[in-house]
Amino acid sequence: MNHKVKTLLFKTIALLPSKVDDFCYHKIQSFFDKSTLEDRLKSVEATYFRLSKVLKELNIDLKDKTVFEFGSGWFPAMPYFFKYKFDVKEVLTFDINKHFKKETVVELNDIFSKKYDCNIEINLGNNYNLPYGIEYFPNYNIVENNLPDVDVVFSRYVLSHMKAKDVEILHKKIKEEYRKGTYVIHFISPSDLRQHGDSRISAQDFLKYSEEQWSKIRTKYDYHNRLRLPQFLEIFKEYNYEVVYLEYETLDKASKRYELFKKIKLHQDYIKYSDEELMAGNIFVILKV
């Protein structure tokens, strides 16, 4: 969909009364997203493989650990990988929204158990048919409320969708409240969401706007803080995290992606950064408190 049309659609939905707007958003997502649950699971599987490879290299074992995931998303894919592939003790997954549906979890249970040859024992005491060892906490703002007592903090493509100030507040809280040696694992996608489905614009297109201009374009459905890699690293440094591991996609000057990027007239807020810093994508970082 053309990014301008998509933005207009999101802005229109945002004008609707509370709950009605979310209902319409879910319906629109279902209409346009033709990917199957298997397709979506495969995407998360790639994250699992990437994480598994690095944890082995670093000799980090998650067995019998308790994991706090924030940003649950639409279905509990990563919690299943944590439980059935990393053999963690428990996963507590939190989200500011409420997206899980029982029918989706039921389908996931069937697909995951067959694909990964595992026995999923359902906890009939919850409302979503989640297995024992996975707890879901929707409508929970982790910036404003207490954090759970855990061994590992994890997020998958969430930090870019938080207010920049909230990213700072959260990492201050984690630093203050968790034991020294606690691992904090983030996968970060710092690209302009509007280019998903509209290949005519750059993944960094939103860097041409001032903060005031961008605030008039984004909505709660496609919110993005536009933090660049150096800015994330500055936050981690400010609160004295040890960066145990860092990798990200680098630029290819022969690519169409780079060509689109170079056509952007960057706003003055971003001209101090190098091309590589601005284009750094698909960031994977492991921190230690």
Domain boundaries, given as residue ranges, for the chain: 1-34, 36-100+130-288
| pLDDT value for 9 | 66
Q: What is the mean pLDDT of residues 189-210?
A: 88
What are 246's strand-pairing partners? 285
Task: Between 168 and 196, name the one with better pLDDT.
Answer: 168
Q: Is the pLDDT of residue 224 over 60?
A: yes
pTM (two decimals): 0.89
Q: Is the pLDDT of residue 1 over 60?
A: no
pLDDT band, residue 23 (cuts 50/70/90):
low
Task: Between 277 and 4, name the one with better pLDDT.
Answer: 277
Q: What is the CATH number of domain 36-100+130-288?
A: 3.40.50.150
* The 66-70 sheet, strands edge to edge: 134-137, 90-94, 66-70, 152-156, 183-188, 281-288, 242-249
Q: Is the pLDDT of residue 127 over 80?
A: yes
From 51-55, 123-127, 259-263, the region with the lowest mean pLDDT: 123-127
| pLDDT value for 31 | 58
Q: What percent of the chain has pLDDT over 90?
A: 78
DSSP labels for 244-280? EEEEEEPP-TTSHHHHHHHT----TTTTTS-HHHHH-
> Would you say 283 and 190 are in contact if contact means Cβ atoms under 8 Å apart?
yes
| pLDDT value for 200 | 84
Average pLDDT, the chain: 91
| pLDDT value for 95 | 97
Structure confidence by residue, pLDDT tens digits, 41-92: 999 999 999 999 999 999 999 999 999 999 999 999 999 999 999 999 999 9
Packing angle of the helix pair 20-32, 3-14 (nearest 10 deg)? 150
